[in-house]
């Protein structure tokens, strides 16, 4: 396997852009629920705070391996 000279900086940039866009979208979505109960807002923040990990995982795997799927073993 060759060293990924271009893949790591590109992957880092794409991850940064994704997280920035994701945070903006989550904030804009939650802005519609400012009158919602605190528990509803808490659940949304918790779900949004965890969901980005699964969404960005294939990009992190690609940055490291060059493949979109992670293989065990």
Is the distance from CB of 41 to CB of 30 less than 8 angstroms?
Answer: yes
What tens digit of pLDDT does each residue of 42-67 get? 998 899 889 999 889 989 888 888 77
Does residue 73 register a pLDDT over 70?
no
The pLDDT > 90 percentage for the chain reads 40
Which pLDDT band holds residue 72 (cuts at 50, 70, 90)? low
Look at the pTM and tell me if it is higher than 0.85: no
**Cα–Cα distance for residue pair 68/39, rounded to 1 Å:** 36
Q: How far apart are CA 43 and CA 40, in angstroms?
A: 5
Helix/strand/coil for 68: coil
């Amino acid at each position: 396997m060759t060293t990924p000279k271009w893949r790591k900086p590109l992957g880092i940039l794409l991850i940064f852009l994704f997280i920035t866009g994701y945070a903006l979208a989550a904030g804009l979505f939650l802005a519609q629920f400012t009158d919602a109960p605190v528990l509803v807002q808490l659940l949304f923040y918790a779900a949004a705070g965890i969901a980005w990990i699964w969404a960005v995982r294939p990009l992190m795997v690609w940055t490291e391996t060059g493949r979109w799927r992670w293989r065990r073993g």
